[in-house]
Structure 1
């Protein structure tokens, strides 16, 4: 039987814990109905051994160094203040390292990847997280090989998943590894999950940081957002800003995490996505209104950024 430890971290997201329970309990039911021993033993783990009323039917243990688990699951966090959430859960970090050293698999749901990355175990390994948290993740953990477009990653014994329904893709992946493809397919049908969705890029939205005190960078952001349809070069963007090209690019990348040209590109693609979702404009109009003159270049950038063609995006997300 696979010993599964589900972390009840400080500020855990209830929905992600419920998904874990639902999928593994379903797999256990498949086996017991067939007269086979259930594959998973589920235990909740917390820093103080306490559990709230949602999970009173389950065993709860306080983490300790004597007990080891085959699989550890880290749920998403409810907060946007991930730095504070990691600080509140600091005691899990050495424990997770010890579990990994004792051959445990560790899997994270959505922003739970931040806690795993804080252990250092993901350094040099591939990972993903919620698509809109990828910028903060990359800035906090540059040694991790972040795959922001991926729904699920596996690197040895470490697993991560993207946001929301991507947790089900992670759990189905684990079922397939532990119980075989037939069980995973059967569970996918129960939960109505398309097993072949491997990309989450098209769910992203460009939400650049504004919580900084660099007035020069803030001015450049404002100019790009106000003139994205017209400007084409860095020189045009910064011509009224009292700074050299080299200095503005350096400071912009340091504060925002991307270059001014990348910021312009992301702003234009986000504008195009909104036009595709909310208007009936022809594609040539959308290309022009989002700041592009070359349809071929637009389609190439759009597909690279979003993970699908503009037409596919419109078909998927346009309001009817």
Structure 2
């Protein structure tokens, strides 16, 4: 029986915790129905100060303290957060970090789900490893944790004893992977069917929305952002952006990437693709008309970039997301 430790941090997302428990409990029931012992011994953990502040019970689970864990857990699960201030949330949950590090060094596997990757990243355990998180949080994650090999488009990553998943429903893809790892393919398929999980979804890029980062104090970068967003349909190259900006190309690119997480040319590309997505969702315009309104002159180039950024062809995107 595998010892699973589910962390219940400050600002946890209830849906994430409930889904993890539901899937693991279901896997246990299916294994028991086969006449075998349950696969998972599930325990919920909080910091000592959390237990002093409130409840010691979560539904049918008695919450245990990270200070009293006996031995090494087989796997620790970090759920998603619900927060408007991720930095504050990480600070509040930072006392979990030494415990996570100690458990990992002793042999535990660690998995995070959606924005739970921010606490995982803060532990340093993902440095040099592949990871993902919610597609819309990837830019912020990359800025904060540059040593992590971020895979924004991936639904799930597995690197040695670390596992991460993308946006909310990607949780199911990772937990099914872990069920398969510990319970076998047959149980994993049964669980997937019970929860109606589409196991063929390997990317999350088409769920993303590009949200420009303005949370910096670089006036020059803000000037360039505004210029790109207002003139994206007529900008031909980076030189056009630089034409009246008091900075060298090298200095601008360095400062822009530091402030926004991406270089200016990629920023321009994201603004154009986001414009195309909105037209595909909300208008009856043809793809050729949308290409023109998005600032592209080469249809082949547009289609190639769109598929790279979004993960599907323009007409496939329209079919999937068009407002009807």
Normalising by structure 2, we get a TM-score of 0.95
The two structures, once aligned, show a CA RMSD in angstroms of: 1.4
Aligned pairs (5 A) from 1:226-245: 226-245=230-249
Shift of 1:281: 0.6
Structure 2 residue 35 is matched with structure 1 residue 32: no
The SS at the match of 1:42 is strand
Runs of 5+ consecutive residues of structure 2 not aligned to the other structure: none
- Of the structure 1 ranges 256-265 and 285-294, higher mean CA displacement relative to structure 2 is found in 256-265
C-alpha separation in 2, matches of 1:210 and 1:200: 24
Task: Show the counterpart of 2:319.
Answer: 315
Task: Show the counterpart of 1:57.
Answer: 60
CA offsets 1:13-43 (integer angstroms, 9 cap, x no match): 1110001000001011112223221111111
Runs of 5+ consecutive residues of structure 1 not aligned to the other structure: none
Task: Show the counterpart of 2:277.
Answer: 273
Report the number of matched residues.
320
C-alpha separation in 2, matches of 1:66 and 1:182: 32
Task: Show the counterpart of 1:300.
Answer: 304
C-alpha separation in 2, matches of 1:56 and 1:313: 41
| Contact 2:110-2:163 within 8 A present in 1 as well | yes
Task: Show the counterpart of 2:210.
Answer: 206
Task: Show the counterpart of 1:224.
Answer: 228
CA offsets 1:216-251 (integer angstroms, 9 cap, x no match): 111111111111111112222232333333332222
Shift of 1:213: 1.6
The SS at the match of 2:268 is helix
C-alpha separation in 1, matches of 2:312 and 2:240: 30
Normalising by structure 1, we get a TM-score of 0.96
Structure 2 residue 93 is matched with structure 1 residue 89: yes
C-alpha separation in 2, matches of 1:185 and 1:273: 34
CA offsets 1:41-93 (integer angstroms, 9 cap, x no match): 11110002636487231121100264321111001111132221111111111
Structure 2 residue 79 is matched with structure 1 residue 75: yes
Aligned pairs (5 A) from 1:30-179: 30-48=30-48, 50=51, 52=55, 55-64=58-67, 66-179=70-183
| Contact 2:56-2:62 within 8 A present in 1 as well | no
C-alpha separation in 2, matches of 1:313 and 1:8: 37
The SS at the match of 1:41 is strand
CA offsets 1:236-274 (integer angstroms, 9 cap, x no match): 223233333333222212211111111111100000010
